[in-house]
Amino acid sequence: MPRRKPTIKTDVIGDLDLNPEVAIDDYRVSRQQDQFFVKPPNWDSAGDNIEMLYIANLREYDAMKQVQIQLLKDAKRQAALNVQRIRKMYKIQERLRKRFVEVNGFIKDCADKKRSADKSIREETVLHAEVTKEIDEFKTSIAELSTFRNALKATVAQFQPYERVLEEVVKVSDIFISSKDCIDRCDALMLAQVEINKLESQKLNEIEEMRQRMVQITSDAALTVLGLKNDLARLDRSYVSSRSTCLKWEKILSACKDTTSLYNLDKERMFDGIQILYRMLCKRRDIVPSYHSYEIDKIMSFIMREMSLLSSVLQELESNKGDKVGAGRMC
């Protein structure tokens, strides 16, 4: 069973492009693998020559052509069916569109009818409630009128004797013309009494308001007087405090005034002493005083200069006196 290794050119013993030594090794490796095993054809097989390949390809081509023709027929038939289906679908779509429009219009009509019905129901409900309320009011009024009628009958039956008495009074009286005139005058008297009572209550209320206003005014005046009294007391205390403060400051100012006066007196005395000293120094030097009293700086400078001269003269005299005493001792 021949084996081979996949090379460019192979033989039963391996690669023909290699050396025999290497080819033998490749042959051994090829015998140990089954991947590239090649089974030789049978003795009666025609083999894979060019004619057999042509015949096989021709048969395959004819089969494929028949399949292609069949597929083309099926495609044409399917296209015709698709065209029919599309037309049918368009017709169904158009019918459904019309049906949808009809159903949509019907739904809108139903919605409008429903809204109209709801509106009518609400209006009828409101009207029913109003009518029911009016019926209840009428029933209540009828019941009240029935009660009033019964009460009126009882009142008429109760006051019927008074009516006879009233008629007798009208007959014997010269003031009243008829029973109605008597009743009208009595009603007028009652109305006048009501007005009098109302006016009386009004006047009493006005009097009460005046009293309250007077009390308020009196209390306000009392509060004002009390406030003025408090202000007066506070003003009195302020006056006493201010008076004591003024006396205190008067003492302080009098002391300040005395101090200022003494200072001014001392100042004047000092100026007089300076003037006297200045005149004495001028007289000593037998000169006429040329500075005025307000030229203190110049006068003081002159006095200091003269005093320094006198000091130097005294020092000189003392030194001369000391020299004379020393000379006498030496003699």
d(CA 159, CA 156) in angstroms, rounded, equals 5
SS3 10: strand
The pLDDT of residue 48 = 63
CB of 278 closer than 8 Å to CB of 299: yes
The pLDDT of residue 187 = 79
d(CA 2, CA 12) in angstroms, rounded, equals 6
pTM of the model: 0.28
14 forms beta bridges with: 11
Token digits of residue 221: 């005046």
The pLDDT of residue 23 = 60
Give Cα separations from 129 to 68, 126, 135 (angstroms): 86, 5, 10
Does residue 7 surpass a pLDDT of 50?
no
Chain position carrying tokens 């009660």: 147
Q: What is the dihedral of CA 101, 104, 110, 111, to 10 degrees?
A: -140
Summarize pLDDT for 160-205 with one digit per residue, the tens.
776 777 777 777 776 767 777 777 777 788 888 888 988 888 999 9
The pLDDT of residue 63 = 92
Mean of pLDDT over the chain:
81
Handedness of CA 243, 245, 248, 254 (dihedral sign): negative
The letter for the amino acid at 93 is Q
- The closest alpha carbon to 184, from 158, 168, 166, belongs to 166
Summarize pLDDT for 13-72 with one digit per residue, the tens.
444 555 666 666 666 766 666 666 555 556 565 556 677 788 888 999 999 999 999 999
The pLDDT of residue 26 = 65
Band of pLDDT at residue 92, cut at 50, 70 and 90? very high
Does residue 88 surpass a pLDDT of 90?
yes
The pLDDT of residue 81 = 94
Summarize pLDDT for 250-291 with one digit per residue, the tens.
888 888 888 888 888 888 888 888 888 888 888 887 778 777
